């Protein structure tokens, strides 16, 4: 299996698992909490069919990646992403982040700039700043995040069961847009994640990304459901779109947090339209004549 080394913890390497498929314009898909790159299942095949090179990876602590007890902050997450981009020698690549993955997109662009990045996509993403403060009255009260941490410490497996109900708005959509088996699969992936990572990531959700976003000068797509119970659209998606000049905002009617699964057709259509046809674009070049190298 392919891995990229991003550091060490004592005698142990910290390796990130990734997958790299297809050819054409590269797209890096960054997953949400507490899942893995496998959560992009409904997008990968569509993007490959559209002629793109599609790269997914598992954040440290999750999926098939190493489970260190250090590095759970967005500066490190962005550095991890940069090491993957460097290893794969990506050029003119698009960054697509779902939920917590939107933080990687924002911090990467803020830390490394937009050179080499063609486009950015934020889907149900944590930026710009979720914590309610004096200069951020639209945010969420800090007690909410404290309560989540207490629930994880008490019994993270029970917490995940409740979390995924709101992740999918299961009371309304279970059996219609998401199956019990799909939810169970998510729970299994979450249960296999690092206990340290599951707890340590919670405070990162209210990182301040406002400065990171103001410098974004590449075409940007923002998508979120208007029935998101994990991240209120008024505190996240609507504000991201306002901060990034010229960005395109798509609000998915009745969409829960995980619109990448429940409303995959709509999400995929927007992605393909925004990201374009990878190989098709290159196919317009004049064909080589026979016998000419």
Q: Which residues are catalytic?
A: 99, 228, 257
Nearest Cα residue to 249 out of 213, 220, 212, 209: 220
Whole-number Å distance between alpha carbons of 65 and 68: 9
The neighbour count for residue 203, using CB atoms within 10 Å, is 16
Burial class (CB in 10 A: 0-12, 13-18, 19+), 1: exposed
- Helix, strand, coil percentages (3-state) for the chain, rounded to 5, are 45, 20, 40
Q: Residue 154 phi/psi, 5° resolution? A: -65, -45
Whole-number Å distance between alpha carbons of 76 and 70: 9
Nearest Cα residue to 90 out of 169, 28, 154, 7: 28
| Residue-wise burial string across 255-285, b where 16 or more C-beta atoms lie within 10 A, e elsewhere | bbbbbbbbbbebbbebbbebbbbbbeeeeee
110: which 2 tokens?
């803020």
């Amino acid at each position: 299996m392919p891995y990229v080394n991003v550091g060490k913890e004592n005698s142990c390497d910290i390796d990130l698992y990734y997958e790299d498929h297809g050819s054409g314009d590269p797209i890096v898909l960054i997953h949400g909490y507490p899942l893995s790159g496998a959560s992009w299942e409904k997008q990968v095949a569509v993007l490959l069919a559209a002629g793109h090179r599609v790269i997914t990876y598992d954040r440290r602590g999750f999926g098939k990646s190493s489970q260190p007890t250090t590095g759970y902050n967005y500066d490190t997450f962005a550095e991890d992403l940069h090491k993957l981009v460097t290893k794969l020698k990506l050029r003119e690549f698009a960054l697509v982040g779902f939920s917590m993955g939107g933080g990687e997109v924002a911090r990467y662009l803020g830390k490394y700039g937009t050179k080499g990045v063609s486009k950015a996509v934020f889907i149900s993403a944590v930026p710009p700043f979720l914590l309610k403060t004096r200069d951020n009255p639209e945010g969420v009260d800090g007690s909410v995040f404290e309560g989540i941490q207490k629930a994880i410490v008490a019994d993270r497996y029970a917490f995940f069961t409740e979390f995924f109900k709101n992740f999918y708005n299961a009371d309304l959509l279970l059996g219609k847009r998401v199956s019990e088996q799909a939810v169970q699969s998510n729970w299994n992936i979450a249960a296999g994640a690092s206990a340290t990572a599951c707890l340590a990531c919670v405070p990162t959700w209210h990182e301040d990304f406002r400065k990171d976003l103001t410098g974004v000068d590449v075409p940007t797509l923002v998508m979120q459901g208007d029935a998101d119970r994990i991240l209120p659209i008024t505190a996240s998606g609507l504000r991201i779109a306002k901060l990034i000049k010229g960005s395109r905002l798509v609000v998915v009617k009745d969409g829960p947090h995980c619109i990448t699964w429940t409303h995959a057709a709509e999400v995929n259509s927007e992605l393909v339209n925004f990201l374009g046809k990878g190989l098709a674009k290159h196919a317009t070049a004049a064909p080589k004549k026979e016998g000419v190298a």
